[in-house]
Structure 1
Amino acid sequence: MNGKKLLIYGFLGLIMASCTARQEINYMTDIDNMALDNSIKNSRSTLQPGDQLIVNISARDMDAVKPFNQNYSSSTTVTQYSMPSSNSMPQQLPVSGPTYFVDTDYNIVFPQLGKINTKGENIETFRNKLSDLLEKYIKDPIVDVKLVNFKVSLAGEVAKPGTYVMPEGNATVWSALALAGDLTPYGVRQNVLLIRNVDGQITKQRIDLTSAGFMNSPYYYLKQNDIIYVQPNANREKAARVDPNLGLYISVSSVVASLVIGIISLTRR
């Protein structure tokens, strides 16, 4: 009888060790009831010191444009990640062109025009500003501006933690998570931490990915150097404290219990 109890206890221990609490992994369950009127207001990130811009100027008269593209020979190549579609992996895409760096005073130095201040400007407004300045020298200039070193970092319970350069700086929480392979089943979706540094001011925000409400917040669209941290759930933390050989011990105990019962049965005969 004692042998049977031992076997039962062994199996119960095995079952308890293998069971985990139910984890909610669905996103934005209330999306159908969510109005996204305010989302577009937060879609543009302002330029920050350290930003790297590629600016190309064109027009019908390309000879008139040449002086404003004169630093093309000193341009650098930057690698960005394309957004994955379906189950495909993100691709690395090199981009190059005349390169300008935003200095600590928010200025870039542009050929013929000198210093141009970018503080408070996003890509679209800066493009318009530069176009207005060029109209004094070029008829109907076409200005193309790309932010090519827009970086976000993802850590914690995501499939591929790391720092990613997002295409053109137009990034959302979802696009960043897609590049990182989404959250693991152990990630807490209701309490994702986003850390942001804008103009030297560090802010922290908790995001509930199961609710669509955060899409109307200033944190849905990412900004330069944002950090997303996905904390592990209780099951992951508990597993980290458990001996990694626990499963082996349970299996061995089950085998030993079976042997004990077999031996007891033989001796009773």
Structure 2
Amino acid sequence: MILKKYFVYAALSLTVFSCTAKQEISYMKDIESVALENSIINSRSTLQPGDQMIITVTAKDMDVVKPFNQNYSSTATVAQYSAAAGNAQFQQVPSSGPTYTVDLDNNIIFPQIGKINTKNENVESFRLKVADLISSYVKNPIVDIKLINFKVSVLGEVNKPGTYVIPDGNSTILGALGMAGDLTAFGLRNNVLIVRTVDGQMTKDRIDLTSAQFINSPYYYLKQNDIIYVQPNSNREKSARIDPNIGLYISVASVIASITLGILAFTRN
């Protein structure tokens, strides 16, 4: 009877600890209680100096829009991401068209129009701006814009650290962590650092992935050249401080001790 009682206690304890461990590594435990409306405000990244765009203009009469499709570039290579077998993979896909680079003054030089300022514009708002300017010359122009060098870096305790190119220029911190293979078991999920540079100003913030509140953060939607750093937990830091050769030292000490004991035993005899 006593043995049965202890068995029940042990089972209950195991259940409690299992639930606690699962709770600590879960993302967004309180997502149902968080309003998502505010996140839309931050969902679009503004264009920054150095951004490269392919801008193409089409219309019913393609001859009319030819002057706006000058500065035709050689074929550019864009990374397209797709999920396969649970892993984030990517393949290089050629994409060609007139390529424009945003200069240090946030301008591009566009055929027939001249300078067009991109400051405080995202891809969609800038597309509408270019279409409106071209509409002074062409009726109902269709403008398509693609970012070809939007990238973020994911470092620290993730399975695939590195720099990732995002073709559509629209990604969240969860999307980037997914491309990096998710956090390792040693990554701190409640203290993820985001470093961002906008208009030459560097800012940073720390995100708690275990709370759904972070989806309302301005750092939830990523910007050009964002850096995500996942800090290691205390267990990883302790293991990093241990000399990797400690096993070798113990083995050598054991051999020396064995030889010494053998010599002492021999001399006594």
TM-score category (smaller protein) = 0.7 to 0.9
Higher relative contact order (CA 8 A, sep 6+): 1
Where does residue 162 of structure 2 map in the other structure?
A: 162
Contact 1:84-1:178 within 8 A present in 2 as well: no
Where does residue 77 of structure 1 map in the other structure?
A: 76
TM-align CA RMSD: 2.5
Q: How does 1:219-234 map to 2 (within 5 A)?
A: 219-234=219-234
- What is the deviation of 1:79? 2.5
Contact 2:88-2:180 within 8 A present in 1 as well: no
Where does residue 200 of structure 1 map in the other structure?
A: 200
Identical aligned residues as a percent: 67
- SS of equivalent to 1:238: helix
Where does residue 29 of structure 1 map in the other structure?
A: 29
Amino acid at match of 1:163: T
For 1:92 and 1:33, the matched residues in 2 are separated by: 38
**Stretches of structure 1 lacking an aligned partner (at least 5 in a row):** 1-20, 255-269
- SS of equivalent to 2:65: helix
- What is the deviation of 1:188? 0.4
For 1:217 and 1:86, the matched residues in 2 are separated by: 31
Where does residue 101 of structure 1 map in the other structure?
A: 101
- What is the deviation of 1:51? 0.4
For 1:92 and 1:76, the matched residues in 2 are separated by: 16
Where does residue 45 of structure 2 map in the other structure?
A: 45
Answering whether residue 201 of structure 2 is matched by residue 213 of structure 1, we say no
For 1:148 and 1:243, the matched residues in 2 are separated by: 44
Q: How does 1:61-210 map to 2 (within 5 A)?
A: 61-72=61-72, 74-84=73-83, 87-94=86-93, 95-210=95-210
TM-score if structure 1 supplies the norm length? Answer: 0.81
Moved segments of 4+, more than 6 Å: 248-254
**Stretches of structure 2 lacking an aligned partner (at least 5 in a row):** 1-20, 255-269
Answering whether residue 60 of structure 2 is matched by residue 60 of structure 1, we say yes
Amino acid at match of 1:197: T
Q: How many residue pairs end up in the alignment?
A: 236
- SS of equivalent to 1:146: strand
Amino acid at match of 2:57: I
Where does residue 266 of structure 1 map in the other structure?
A: none
Amino acid at match of 1:236: R
- What is the deviation of 1:244? 2.6
- What is the deviation of 1:221? 0.2
Contact 2:151-2:163 within 8 A present in 1 as well: yes
- What is the deviation of 1:237? 0.7
For 1:83 and 1:42, the matched residues in 2 are separated by: 24
Contact 2:67-2:111 within 8 A present in 1 as well: yes
Where does residue 15 of structure 1 map in the other structure?
A: none
Where does residue 238 of structure 1 map in the other structure?
A: 238
For 1:241 and 1:137, the matched residues in 2 are separated by: 67
CA gap 1:61/1:23 in 2 versus in 1, 3 angstroms: same
